[in-house]
Structure 1
Amino acid sequence: MTSTSAPPGLARFNGLEESAAFAVLHQVCACTAWVRALLAARPYATIAALHAASDAATAGLTTADLAEAMAAHPPIGRPAPGDPASVREQRGMSDASADLRAEMLDLTLAYQEKFGHVFLICATGRTGEQMRDAIEERIGNAPEREWEIARTELGRINRIRLARLVEEDARA
């Protein structure tokens, strides 16, 4: 399948009642403005069109919208209990040493103190060391720069989650 062909689950997603589609999109990204933008652009002919709509919606989010989305993300190293997506996305921390876990806890707390929000990174496929290196690099950023990096990371997370959504729909 190419990136421009529609996965079988996309038709099912397109056919969901609006309230059901809202609920599944809200699980992808907990920002109401983002969800509404994606709902308004349905139906999607391809996953590429869905991703393009997500990218456009993410680019248009205000700081308050970004804060709403980030508030639903658990800190790195502390996936949400009972949330398999959170555990899967943070898999890179599962084998981290106790020292690295303690270091990440200290860094994420310092980051949150400085910026007022969770350290957001697309953790999928990253090791604990890579996430530590990223937070160490980013903690020195100006707040405005960090908001834009968080926006980019949110876009990456949303793309992965949307792809998984339509793949899971295809298996349903």
Structure 2
Amino acid sequence: MSTGRVPGDSFLWRFNDADPAGALDDLSVCCSSRRWAGEMVVGRPYRDVNQLVERSDRVFRALGWADLREALDAHPRIGDRATGESREAGWSRDEQAAASGAGDELNQANVDYEDRFGHVFLICATGLSADTILAEVLRRVRNDVAVEREEVRVELCKIAALRLRKLAGA
């Protein structure tokens, strides 16, 4: 698939021209939803990172809960350190740096949240303090299921956008 070049953006050059399997592999670090990744690949070519992120936002709005859950299940509990040497694990550790020292109160809030919703609490933690993260889990544990699923969608979308920008070097 020769899709055109994006001046000054070597990631987008490679991504736009990659075979579908290679393009899917590039995206795996950003989001683990196969439907999201597939929709992102068929949306090529992208002229710049902003168009890439805009497409991601549109795709996220259309994902069903099963697709969101697939992405959600790949995330570690907030405050836990992702293991491994992969780029995704490193980004996760960096994104959750403030939460790693939050202690017992966050651990208990995570347990309460998981008991209520059946999955880990997810938040785009980049730039947030441990206190802010704790306040958010305590607020969101009171959500009803439908409201919380939409909050999860928004947070997954933010994380994917952040990681797409990192991948593109923007």
With the length of structure 2 as denominator, give the TM-score of the two structures.
Answer: 0.89
Is the deviation greater in 82-91 or in 143-152? 82-91
| Structure 1 position 104, deviation (Å) | 0.9
| Structure 1 position 11, deviation (Å) | 1.6
Report 1 or 2 for greater relative contact order, CA contacts < 8 Å, sequence distance ≥ 6: 1
| Structure 1 position 6, deviation (Å) | 6.8
SS at match of 2:29: helix
* Equivalent position of 1:61 in the other structure: 63
Structure 1 residues 151 and 13: CA distance shift in structure 2, 3 A: same
CA distances 1:121-141 after superposition (whole Å, capped 9, x unpaired): 001111111100100111100
| Structure 1 position 7, deviation (Å) | 5.4
**In 2, Cα distance between equivalents of 1:108 and 1:22:** 31
* Equivalent position of 1:136 in the other structure: 138
Which 5+ residue runs of structure 2 have no aligned equivalent? 1-5
Structure 1 residues 7 and 102: CA distance shift in structure 2, 3 A: farther
With the length of structure 1 as denominator, give the TM-score of the two structures.
Answer: 0.88
Structure 1 residues 7 and 30: CA distance shift in structure 2, 3 A: farther
Residue type of the alignment partner of 1:67? R
Identical pairs, percent: 34
Instruction: Give the counterpart of 1:163 among 159, 162, 165.
Output: 165
Residue type of the alignment partner of 2:32? A
* Equivalent position of 1:102 in the other structure: 104
Which 5+ residue runs of structure 1 have no aligned equivalent? none
Is the deviation greater in 112-121 or in 8-17? 8-17
Aligned residue pair count: 160
- What do you get for the CA RMSD once the two structures are aligned? 1.6
**In 2, Cα distance between equivalents of 1:50 and 1:166:** 10
**In 2, Cα distance between equivalents of 1:20 and 1:104:** 38
Structure 1 residues 50 and 129: CA distance shift in structure 2, 3 A: same
